[in-house]
Structure 1
Amino acid sequence: MSSLIALPARARAHLNAADVSLARGGRPVLTGVDVTVSPGDRLGVVGENGRGKTTLLRVLAGTLAPDSGSVHRAGTLGVADQEMPSGDHRTVGDLIDVELRQVRAVLRDFEAATLALAEDRPGAGETYAEALAAAEAIGAWEADRRVDVSLAALGAVADRDRPLAELSVGQRYRIRLACLLGAGHDLLLLDEPTNHLDASGLDHLTAKLREHPGGVVLVSHDRALLSDVVTTVLDLDPTSDGRPRVYGGGYAGYREGQRAERERWETAYRDQQNERHRLAQDLSAAQNRLSTGWRPEKGTGKHTRATRAPALVRAVHRRQEELEAHVVDVPKPPLRFQLPDLATFPGATLLRADEVTVRGRLTGPASVLLRSGDRLVVTGPNGSGKSTLLAVLGGVLEPGTGSVQRRRGARIGLLAQESPQPSRRPAFEVFEAAVGRRVSEGRLAGSERIGLGQLGLLPSGAAHRPVRELSIGQQRRLDLAILLAARPHVVLLDEPTNHLSMALVDELTDALGATGAAVVLATHDRQLLRDTAGWPRLAVS
C-alpha cells in the first residue's frame, strides 16, 4: 500500500491542469486553461452558459480527454455532475455503497490486515500499520455517520431500503451529495451543487465546503456560495487575449479583478479604434490635398502647383502604409449593460395596494405603497404568493379582496419568472414591435424610444436570430430589454437573477439601486438579498 495513501487529505490532495484545450464540432470550448488546486484551495469556476465549465470539470475528473495539455491528480476524487441517473432497481443503500466504495475497500483491507496480524503471518505488522493509517486518513469508521448527518441536513431520504425509482431527481441528487460530503475524499469536483437545496441545505453545504481539508473545484452560478466558500476564481468568459483568467482574493477579488480587466480591455480597444480613425482621417486629408494639387486655379502658374504633386503623392502613400500597418489586435469587448433613464413622478404616489388577497394563491393580506425612488424586496417561501402579489401590482391579475390604485399615466413594467412562448421572428423584430405598440398607443413618446443595441443586453448576432433559437438566458435578456425600453415608472422584477449571468446581475443590481424609478424585487437569491440589505422588506406567507 502506498505511503501517500497514509497521508492526511491536507497533505496529499493535488490537482494540476496545464494549457488544457478542447474543441467540439470544430468550435473551441476550452483554450489554454491552467489550474492548480492544493490542500485548502477552493476554486470557483464561473462563466456564461456554454463556456465549458462542465466540460472542464470532466477533463479534471479524467472522464474526458483534452485535445492538448495535461492533467495530473494526486489523492482520492469525489465528483458530482449535474446529471443524476435514476437506476431502476437500486436502493438508497446501494447508491450510498457506490459512493462510499473507496471507504468500503479501505475497511475490507483493514479487516484482512487485522486477520493476518492475528494469524501472525509474515509482514503482517507492516501491512496492518499501513491499513490502519489509510483508514484513519479518511475517517473510514465515521463515514456512514457523516453521511447520515448530511442526509438529514440536506433533507434527503435516509431509508436505505427505499428504491431509487420512487425518488425525485432532487432527492437522488441530495443523497449523492451527502455521500460526497461524508466520504472523506481528498478532492471534490462539484457541478452546480446548490441545485435542489433549500436554505438549511445551503447552509450545511457551505459549512462542509469551508471546513474541507482537501481541495475543492466548484462550478456554480450561486454568487452567495461563491462569496462564502471560494478562495480563487477561474473565469472562462472571453478576455482580450482569448485565454481564461484566474483571480485570487475569493469572489470579491474576482469581481474587482474582472472589473479592472474589463476597463483595461475597453480602454485598449477604444485607443486602437481612435488611432485607426485618426490615421484614416490623415489619409483622407492627404488624398484631398493631392486632388486639389492637380487642379490649379485660373490665372495661377500651374507649373508651380504641379511641382507639389510628388510630395503630396509621397504623403498619401505614407498615410496608406501607416493605416495598413496599424493592426487592430484587441477584439471588441463584451456588451456592458446600460439602464436607460426611467421616468419619475417626484412626490406622487405611483401605485397603492391595500389588503389585497388572491384565493388559493395569496392568502395573507398584503399592502404596498410606492413613490418614485422607492425600493421594496418581497420575501417568503415557495408558494407563499410573491409572484401573485407582483402580478396583482402589475395589473396582470385582479385581487380577490382589497384594492389597487395606479396613478394615471404611470407606466408599470413587470418581468415575470418565465419568458413567453418564443417567437419564430428575430429578437430585434420582437423588440421593435413591442416598443412600437407602446408608441402608437401613446404610452411612450417617440423621443423616448431606444434601440435594442443601446441596452447592451443582446449582441448583434443573437438579436438577428429567431427568439426560439436563443438560449433561455438570452430570452430572459430580451424580456428585460422590452421591459426597460418602455421606460417604466415602476419596475416589478420576479426572480430577476434567473438564467442571467453573474456579471449582468451585478450590473443590473447596481443600476436598479441608482435609478429614480420605483423598484420591487421578489427573490430567493441570497446574494441579491445581501446586496439589497438596506431595502425595505415585505414578507408574505
Structure 2
Amino acid sequence: MLLALQDVTFEFGARTIVKNASWHIVPGDRVGLIGLNGTGKSTLLRIINGEYSIASGSVNKVKNLSLGFFNQDLLSFESDESILSVGMMAFQKALEVEKEIDRLTKELETNQSDALLNEFADRLHEFETLDGYNMRHKTAQVLEGLGFSTADLERPYSEFSGGWRMRVLLARLILQHPDVLMLDEPTNHLDLPSIEWLERYLSSYDGAVIIVSHDRYFLDRMVNKVVELYQQELHHYAGNYSDYEVEKELRRDMQQRAYENQQEYIRQQERFIERFKAKASKAAQAQSIMKRLDKLDLVEQVDSGPSKIRINFSVDKVPGKILSTLRDVSKSFGDIQILKKASAEINRGDKIGLIGANGKGKSTLLRIIAGTEPVDGERTPGHNVVQSFYAQHQLESLHLDNEILEELKTAGSGKTEQELRSLLGCFLFQGDDVYKKIRILSGGEKARVALAKTIIGQANFLLLDEPTNHLDINSVDMLIDALNKYQGSLVLVSHDRYFVSQTANKIWEIVDGEIKEFKGTYAEWEEFKKRMAAQEAANNKVKQEKQREKERGKEKPVEVKVASAPPPPPPAKPNGAIDKDAKRELQKQQRLFQQIEQDLAKKNELKVKIEADLASPDIYSDGKKFTECEKQYKQLLSEIDQLNNAYEEVFEKIVSLESSLVN
C-alpha cells in the first residue's frame, strides 16, 4: 500500500466535503476520481497532497512517498528560461551535480590533487546514476510527445499561452516520476495526438495514478478503478468508467428492490399492530413487533440522482440545402499557413466534428465559417441561415457584474423574463439562482450561462468551439442528448472523443492546408485511419523487401555456392598443400550463413504478424496489450537489424575465404 485515507472527515467552512471516508491506494492503481462539479474532487486531491488539514481521521503514507499533483494552480509558475530547461527541472538533483562537476572541472585546470580527482570521479559516477546524461534527451522526448516541435524546445516558457504552459508543467511532472501521480483534468490542455501519447505513457507507468477527468474515452482507456465522490461519501468500483456505469445501475436496482421489500414488510407489520394492539391475547406480540421495527436498519430509497440539464435547441427557420460554401480559401498568420486554396461545403443536416492537433487552425476555420475571420477566397453563406457561435472567449466576454438573468437579457432575444427564467431552469439555475452575479460562478456554471445564450436565438446552424470544457460528465451527456435531437446543422471542435463520437455524422480534418472530409462517424474514421496506417506499413514493408532483394541481387554473382555445378578445381598450389584450416572455416561460415537466413525468415514472418496485431482495434483499445505489442515490435526490429548486419559480415567472410582458396 502507498497511502490510505482512514475515516477522513473534511469541512470547508460550514460545508462538509467528505465524512468518514476511507480509500487505500496501492502500486498499479489507475483510479478515476469522478463526481459532479463542485462536490470536492480537487479538494480531495489536495487533502492527499497534504495542503489541507482534516477534521478527523488519518492520511497514512509509506516512508519517502513522492506525490505529483497536476492542477490549474501550477500556472502561477513564471520563467524566462527555455521550455527544455523548465522541463529539465524535474532532474533537480542531477542538475545540482552537473553544476558541481563544472566547478570541479575548472578547479582541476590548476589543481590536480588526488582528493580533487577522487571527488570529481565520485560526482561523475553520481551524475551517471541519476541518469544525467539522458535527461536532455528524455525531456525533449516527453515535450515533443505532448505536441511541441523540436524548434519550440529552446523558446522561452514565458512566450507560450496558458494551455501550452500547462503542457510544459505536465511534462516536468511526468519526468519527476512520482510514486503517486495525481492529474486534475489533464486532457483540457491537450489535443488528440497529445492525449493519445499520454494514454500510451500512462499505460506503462509503474506508480499509482489518480485522474480527475470528464473525458469518458480517456477514463475508459486509462483506469482500472473508479472512486465516486457523492453525497459526502466515497463509493468504490472496479473496472473502467463503462464498468462503473453498469455496476452503479445494478447497485441502484438492488437498493431499490431492498427498499421496496422492506417497506412492504413494515406495512404488513404495522397492519398487524394496528389490528391486534388492543386485543389482550395479541397485545404482547404486537408490542414485540413494535420494538423490532424500532430497531430495524432502514434501507434508504434510491435518490433520483443529480439534476439534469434539460436543453432543447429549437429551430425557428428551415435553411436552404447548402448552409455555407468555402471555395479556394487561404489563410495565414505570418509564416504559418493554415489554409491554402481550401474548399468545403456544409449541407443541411450535417453535424461535423472538426478534429486534429492544436495549431492546425480548427478555431480559425470556425471563425471563417462564421464570417468573423477575414480570408482570401470565397465564403458564401446559404439561404435562410441563422447561426449561433459558442466559443471559449464567450466565457471571458460574459459581463461579470451582471446577474445571470440580466446577462440573458443582453442577448436581445425578445423573450419575456418568465421565458428566460424557464430556460435558465433547464440549465439548473432555479429560483433565486438567476440573481447570482456572473463573477461568483464556477467555470462550469459560466459555461452553462454561455450555452444558454447560444441557444436562445433559435439558430438553425451552430458553431461550437470546445463546448464540453468545464462541464461534468452528467452535463456532457445531456448536451449530447440535446444535440442528437437538434433539427439544425452544426460544426463542433472538441478534443473529447466520446462527445465527438456521439454527435458527429461527418469528420473534418485540416491536412496540409486542405479540408479533408470523411463521411461517417468518429468510430468509423478511427477504423479507417487504422486501416490506412496498416496498409502504409504493409506497402513500406514490400518496398523494403524489394530493396533488400535488389541489393542481394547485386551481390549474388560472387556467391559460388549457388552454382548448379561445382566450379572447376583450382590449380594446385606450387607446394601442393591444401589450406585445410581455411576450408574448414569456409564450411563453418557457410553453415552459419544458412542459419542466419533461416532466422531472418522467421523474424520477418513474426514481424508481419505483429504489424497486423498493431493495426487491430482490439489491441489498440487495450492500453496494456498495445504497450506490450509495441515493445515486442521494437525489440524484433532491433533483432532483425542485428541479423542483417551479421548476414553481411558472414557473406563478406565467405567471399574472402572462397577467393583465397581459389588463388
The TM-score bracket by the shorter chain reads 0.5 to 0.7
1:94–1:427 Cα change, 3 Å: closer
**Alignment equivalent of 1:418, drawn from 369, 387, 393:** 393
From 26, 41, 64, give the equivalent of 2:52. Answer: 64
After superposition, where does 1:232-381 map in structure 2 within 5 Å?
Answer: 232-236=225-229, 238-239=230-231, 242-257=232-247, 333-340=305-312, 342-343=314-315, 348-349=320-321, 351-355=323-327, 357=329, 360=332, 363-364=339-340, 365-371=342-348, 373-381=349-357
Using the TM superposition, name which of 384-393 and 82-91 deviates more: 82-91
Residue identity in the other structure for 1:81: F
Matched residue of 2:233: which SS?
coil
Matches of 1:449 and 1:173, distance apart in 2: 37
Could you tell me which amino acid in structure 1 is paired with residue 390 of structure 2? L
User: Of residues 191, 198, 201 in structure 2, which corresponds to 1:205?
Assistant: 198
| Structure 1 pair 357–335 and aligned structure 2 pair: CA distance change class (3 A) | farther
TM-aligned CA deviation for residue 69 of structure 1: 1.9
Distance 1:462 1:472, change over 3 A: farther
- Within 1, Cα distance between the matches of 2:403 and 2:444? 16
Q: 1:231: Cα distance to partner? A: 1.2
Q: Distance in 2 between matches of 1:213 and 1:24?
A: 34
Among candidates 470, 476, 495, match of residue 441 of structure 2: 470
Q: Which residue of 2 aligns with 1:73?
A: 61
Aligned partners of 2:155, 2:380: CA distance in 1, in Å? 50
Q: Which moved more, 1:172-181 or 1:462-471?
A: 172-181
Which letter maps to 1:150? V
Q: CA deviation at 1:336?
A: 0.8
- Read off the aligned partner of 2:12 and give its amino acid letter: R
Distance in 1 (CA, whole Å) between partners of 2:420 and 2:187 is 40
Are 1:502 and 2:473 an aligned pair?
yes
Coordinate RMSD, CA, aligned = 4.8
Mark the CA change 1:181 to 1:245 in structure 2 (over 3 Å): closer, same or farther. same
Mean Cα deviation higher: 216-225 or 165-174: 165-174
CA contact (8 A) 2:87 2:171 kept: no
Partner of 1:390: 366
Which stretch has the larger CA shift, 413-422 or 340-349? 340-349
Residue among 129, 153, 156 paired with 2:145 = 153
Cα distance in 2 for residues equivalent to 1:262 and 1:450: 33
Tell me the distance in 2 between the aligned counterparts of 1:63 and 1:96.
25
Letter in 2 for 1:253: D
Deviation at 1:503, TM superposition (A): 1.8
Judging changes above 3 Å, is the alpha-carbon distance between structure 1 residues 231 and 449 closer, same or farther for their aligned structure 2 residues? same
Range with bigger deviation, 32-41 or 453-462: 453-462
Query: Which consecutive residues of structure 1, in runs of 5 or more, have no partner in the other structure?
Result: 1-12, 106-137, 272-327, 441-445
TM-fit CA distance, 1:42:
0.5
Q: Which has the higher helix share?
A: 2
Q: Tell me whether 1:224 sits opposite 2:200 in the alignment.
A: no
The DSSP-based 3-state class of the residue aligned with 2:312 is coil
Give the secondary-structure state (helix, strand or coil) at the position aligned to 2:314: coil
| CA displacement, residues 470-497 of structure 1 (integer Å, 9 cap, x when unaligned) | 2232122112123223332222212211
Residue by residue over 1:283-312, the C-alpha shift from the partner in whole angstroms, topping out at 9 and shown as x without a partner, is xxxxxxxxxxxxxxxxxxxxxxxxxxxxxx
Tell me, in whole angstroms, the C-alpha distance in 1 between the residues paired with 2:391 and 2:40.
Answer: 29
Which of residues 20, 37, 47 in structure 1 aligns to 2:35? 47
Shift of 1:16: 1.8
**Aligned partners of 1:234 and 1:246 also within 8 Å:** yes
- Residue identity in the other structure for 1:57: L
Where does residue 511 of structure 1 map in the other structure?
482
- Match for 2:239: what amino acid? G
Quote the offset at 1:229 in angstroms: 0.7
SS of residue matched to 1:205: helix
The 2-side partners of 1:359 and 1:95 are apart by 33
Residue matched to 1:26: 14
What SS is found at the alignment partner of 1:369? Answer: strand
* Structure 2 partner of 1:299: none
Which ranges of structure 2 fall in alignment gaps of 5 or more residues?
Answer: 98-128, 261-299, 514-663
Q: Per-residue deviation at 1:381?
A: 4.3
**Counterpart secondary structure, 2:414:** helix
Which residue identity is paired with 2:43?
Answer: T
Work out whether residues 377 and 536 of structure 1, in 8 Å CA contact, stay in contact via their aligned partners in 2.
yes
2:344 is paired with a residue whose SS is strand
Deviation at 1:413, TM superposition (A): 2.3
- TM-score normalised by length of structure 1: 0.64
Shift of 1:512: 1.3
Aligned to 1:521, the other structure's residue is in SS state strand
1:407 pairs, out of 374, 383, 396, with: 383
| Distance apart, 1:204 and its partner CA | 3.1
Q: Distance in 2 between matches of 1:96 and 1:379?
A: 31
1:488/1:382 Cα in 2 relative to 1: closer, same or farther (>3 Å)? Answer: same
- Indicate how the Cα distance of structure 1 residues 483 and 532 shifts in structure 2: closer, same or farther if over 3 A, else same: closer
Q: Secondary structure at the match of 1:437?
A: coil
Matches of 1:487 and 1:140, distance apart in 2:
60
Instruction: Verify: 1:520 aligned to 2:513, yes or no.
Output: no
Larger mean CA deviation between 95-104 and 357-366 belongs to 95-104
Identity of aligned residues (%): 27
Shift in CA distance, 459/70, structure 1 to aligned 2, threshold 3 Å: farther
Aligned-pair CA distance for 1:142: 9.7
Once the two structures are TM-superposed, the CA of residue 455 in structure 1 deviates from its matched residue by: 2.1
Q: Which amino acid letter does the alignment assign opposite residue 249 of structure 1?
A: G
Task: Specify the alignment match of 2:582 in structure 1.
Answer: none
State how far apart, in whole Å, the 2-side matches of 1:96 and 1:19 are: 39
Q: Residues 421 and 353 (structure 1 numbering): CA distance in 2 closer, same or farther, change over 3 Å? A: same
Moved more, 226-235 or 171-180: 171-180
Tell me how far 1:453 sits from its aligned partner.
Answer: 4.1
Quote how far apart the aligned CAs of 1:94 are. Answer: 8.9
Q: Match of 2:522?
A: none
TM-score (norm. length: structure 2): 0.54
Distance in 2, matches of 1:43 and 1:407, equals: 50
The amino acid across from 2:26 in the alignment is: S
Asked if the contact 1:143/1:182 (under 8 Å) is kept, the reply is no
Give the counterpart letter for 1:78 in structure 2: L
Residues 185-196 of structure 1 mapped to structure 2, 5 A cutoff: 185-194=178-187, 196=189
Deviation of 1:99 (Å):
5.2
Q: Is the 8 A contact 1:352 1:369 kept in 2?
A: yes
1:305 paired residue number: none
Aligned-partner Cα distance in 1 for 2:359–2:468: 18
| Aligned equivalents of 2:446, 2:251: Cα separation in 1 | 28
State the match for 1:110 in structure 2.
Answer: none
Once the two structures are superposed, what CA deviation does each residue of 1:39-63 show, in whole Å capped at 9, x if it has no partner?
2210112334443223222222334
The one-character-per-residue Cα deviations of 1:499-521 (angstroms, maximum 9, x if unpaired) are: 22222112212331233222221
Q: Which digits, 9 at most, give the CA deviation of each residue in 1:256-304, with x for residues without a partner?
A: 4567789999x99xx9xxxxxxxxxxxxxxxxxxxxxxxxxxxxxxxxx
Q: Give the deviation of 1:387 after TM superposition.
A: 3.1
Q: Is the CA contact 2:311–2:478 (under 8 Å) kept in the aligned structure 1?
A: no
1:233, distance to aligned residue in structure 2 (A): 2.0
CA distance in 1, matches of 2:154, 2:371: 47
What per-residue deviation string (whole Å, max 9, x for no partner) do you get for residues 148-185 of structure 1?
Answer: 643553467999x9898767577775565445545554
How many residue pairs match? The answer is 433
Task: Find the aligned partners of 1:163 and 1:407 in 2 and give their Cα distance.
Answer: 47
